Amino acid sequence: MTKVYNFSAGPAVLPKTVLEKAQNQLLNYKQSGMSVMEMSHRSAIFEEILEHAKAQVKELMNIPDTHSILFLQGGASMQFHMLALNYAQGKDVAYVDTGNWSQKAMDEASRYGTVHCIASSKDKNYSYIPEFSTDNLEKYAYLHLTTNNTLEGTAFTTLPKVNIPLILDASSNILSYDIDVSQTALIYAGAQKNIGAAGVTMVIIRNDFISDVKDLPPMLSYETMIKNNSLYNTPPTYGIYIAGLVFDWLQELGGVDAMIKLNTIKSNTLYDFIDHSDFYSCPVHGSDRSLTNIPFKSPNETLDAKFVKEATDKGLLNLKGHRLIGGMRASLYNAFPLEGVDALIAFMMQFEGENH
C-alpha cells in the first residue's frame, strides 16, 4: 500500500496508533473475550469505557463539575434541531451567521423560535468573522456561534463574554481550540472531524441549562440524556470507545495546548506558502483564518480540477473543496501529520511549475 495523506474534512484522518490499538483490541478487549462492539451498554466493562472517555475529555478541556458530557447520535445536524426544540420555542434567539453550517443551524431554530441574525459575513462570501456588540442581548434566550467554519475556513479567535447562554457548534475545531467551558451553556461537536469515528456527537452542557418545554420526546431532551448519563437508550458504544482512545492519544501528546501549537505550525506553513505565491490564493481574511480547514484556489477552475486529480494520483487525497465553495481545501485536524503539509507544498510547487 502506498503512503497517502488524507485531507478530508470529515470523516477525517485518525491517529495511526489509535487505529492499531483498536485493531489489537478488536476481537478480545482486555481479556473479556469480547469485542467492544459486542458488549452490553449496561455492563460494568462498558461503563468503564464510557467513564474513562468522559474523564479524559474533562481533563483535556478543563470541563468544570457544573457541566455534563454526553455522547449522542444524529450528528451536529441533529443538535441544530435539538437545541432549538429545547430552548428556542416561542422565544427570540440570536445567531451569528458565519457560513453554511450557521445557516443550517438558523434554519432549524426558525422552526420553533424567532431567529435574530445579529451579525453576518455573507456580504463577503463568509471570508471573515463579523464583529458584533454584546450589549442588549438579554432579550435573547441564547447566542449561537459556529467556532470554526469548516467550508469557508474561518474561525473565531476569541469568544465573546455574554450574560445569556452561549451555545457553540465546535464540530471542526473542538480539541484544537481553547474554549473556556465555564463560559458556555452548551457545546456540541460531531466526532468525525477531530474526535473519532462518525456516529457520535459529543455535547457538553451546563447542568442547570434546563429546558422549560414540557413533554419533550425523551430522545431529544437534554435533561433525559443528562439524567441517564447518555444511556437512555443504546449509545454509539464503539464510537465512544474510539473517542476514548483519541483522548488518550491527545493526553500523551500534551493535550489541547500542544495541538494548538502543532496546528499553528501546520497551518502557518501552508498559509505562508500560499501568501508568497502568485499562483495560489486563499480567500480568507488573515486574522480570521482557521487552523483546521484551509481553502485555496489556483488561477482558474480548470486548473483546480486538474490539481485535485493529479494530487489524488500522488496520494494527496480529498483536497477537492466543498461543492458550495469550489477550489481546494486542506483539512489539517489534530491527527493530520506535518509531513503531509510538506508533501502538499512540494506538490503545489511542482504543479505551479508545470502550469504557470
Supply the minimum distance, in Å, between the C-beta of residue 8 and ligand PLP.
Answer: 11
Residues 54, 97, 193, 266: which is the catalytic one? 193
Q: Which three cell numbers stand for residue 205?
A: 452542557
Let me know: does 144 contact 278? Beta carbons within 8 Å.
no
Is there binding between residue 190 and ligand PLP (CB under 6 A)? Answer: yes
Q: Does 263 bind ligand PLP (CB under 6 A)?
A: no
Is 146 an interacting residue with respect to ligand PLP (CB under 6 A)?
A: yes
Beta carbon of residue 236, minimum distance to ligand PLP (angstroms, whole number): 12
| Residue from 61, 70, 76, 88 in contact with ligand PLP (CB under 6 A) | 76
Task: Sort strands 148-149 and 154-155 into parallel, antiparallel or unpaired.
Answer: antiparallel
Nearest CB to ligand PLP, comparing residues 101 and 140: 101
Q: Of 121, 179, 109, 196, which Cα lies nearest the Cα of 151?
A: 121
Total residues interacting with ligand PLP, rule: CB under 6 A? 12
Question: Whole-angstrom Cα distance, residue 128 to residue 283?
Answer: 9
Q: Catalytic residue at 249?
A: no
**22/102 Cα distance (integer angstroms):** 34
CB of 138 to ligand PLP, least distance (A): 27
Q: CA geometry: angle at 90 spanning 84 and 96, to 5°?
A: 50
- Please state, in angstroms and rounded to a whole number, the distance separating the CA atoms of residues 98 and 108: 16
Q: Which of 150, 154, 298, 318 binds ligand PLP (CB under 6 A)?
A: 150
Q: Are the CB atoms for 145 and 167 separated by under 8 Å? A: yes
Q: Which of 30, 65, 91, 101 is catalytic?
A: 101
The CA angle 206-9-107, to the nearest 5 degrees, is: 55
342 is catalytic: no
The pair phi, psi for residue 263, each rounded to 5°, is -70, -30
Strand partners, 95: 117, 144
Question: Which position among 8, 68, 154, 172 is part of the footprint of ligand PLP (CB under 6 A)?
Answer: 172
Do 290 and 154 contact (CB within 8 A), yes or no?
yes
- Of the listed pieces 71-79, 152-160, 178-186, 250-258, which binds ligand PLP according to CB under 6 A? 71-79
10 binds ligand PLP (CB under 6 A): yes
Cell numbers at residue 240, please? 465512544
By the rule CB under 6 A, 292 interacts with ligand PLP: no
The label of the residue with cell 481574511 reads: 285
Is residue 101 flagged as an active site residue?
Answer: yes
Count CB atoms within 10 A of the CB of residue 353: 9
Residues 193-212 interacting with ligand PLP (rule: CB under 6 A): 193
- Taking the complex as a whole, the smallest distance from the CB of residue 309 to ligand PLP amounts, in Å, to 25
Residue 56 touches ligand PLP, criterion: CB under 6 A:
no
Using Cβ positions, the residue closest to ligand PLP within the complex turns out to be 75
What DSSP character marks residue 280?
A: -
Evaluated on CA atoms 286, 326, 79, 196, the torsion sign reads: negative
Q: Of 153-161, 164-172, 275-283, 299-307, which segment contacts ligand PLP by CB under 6 A?
A: 164-172
Binding flag, residue 77, ligand PLP (CB under 6 A): yes
Exactly one of 154, 171, 184, 290 binds ligand PLP (CB under 6 A); that residue is 171
295 binds ligand PLP (CB under 6 A): no
Let me know: does 187 contact 180? Beta carbons within 8 Å.
no
98 binds ligand PLP (CB under 6 A): no
Q: What's the CA gap between 54 and 302, in Å, rounded? A: 47
Closest distance of CB 190 from ligand PLP, Å: 3
**Footprint on this chain of ligand PLP (rule: CB under 6 A):** 10, 75-77, 101, 146, 150, 169, 171-172, 190, 193
Catalytically annotated residues: 101, 169, 193
